[in-house]
Amino acid sequence: MQRKKSTGFAYLLWVIFGLHYAYVNRWGLQFLFWITAGGLGIWWFIDLFRIPSVVRRYNEALALQCLATIRMAHRV
């Protein structure tokens, strides 16, 4: 089962390895980030401000998925 993601850990991955998109299962963006070297640094800088919203969207989608699973279990 998937788990809630941490903004702090996403920042750590961003700084050390540039793996912040992989952390939230956005592999297409992750490969694009690598291929363009973080948009030659521009995308890297923008992500400094975007990471909290990226993680929040992931966690919200995860919560909705959990609610849907609970609703399906109650219908049975």
Q: How far apart are CA 74 and CA 39, in angstroms?
A: 46
Higher per-residue pLDDT: 28 or 41: 28
Q: Is residue 2 part of a domain?
A: no
Length of the chain: 76
Whole-model pTM: value is 0.81
- Return the CA Rg of the chain: 15
Q: Residue range 40-58: average pLDDT?
A: 93
**End-to-end Cα distance, the chain:** 21
Position 72 scores a pLDDT of 79
Q: Is residue 1 part of a domain?
A: no
How many structural domains is the chain composed of?
1
For residue range 2-29, list pLDDT tens digits in order.
Answer: 789 999 999 999 998 889 999 999 999 9
Q: Is residue 58 part of a domain?
A: yes
Tell me the CB-side half-sphere exposure of residue 2, using CA atoms within 13 A: 16
Reading the block at residue 44, the tokens are 């890297």
Q: Is residue 38 part of a domain?
A: yes
Position 38 scores a pLDDT of 81
- Which helix (H) or strand (E) segment holds residue 24: the answer is none
Q: Is residue 16 part of a domain?
A: yes
State which residues form the domain around 52.
Answer: 7-75
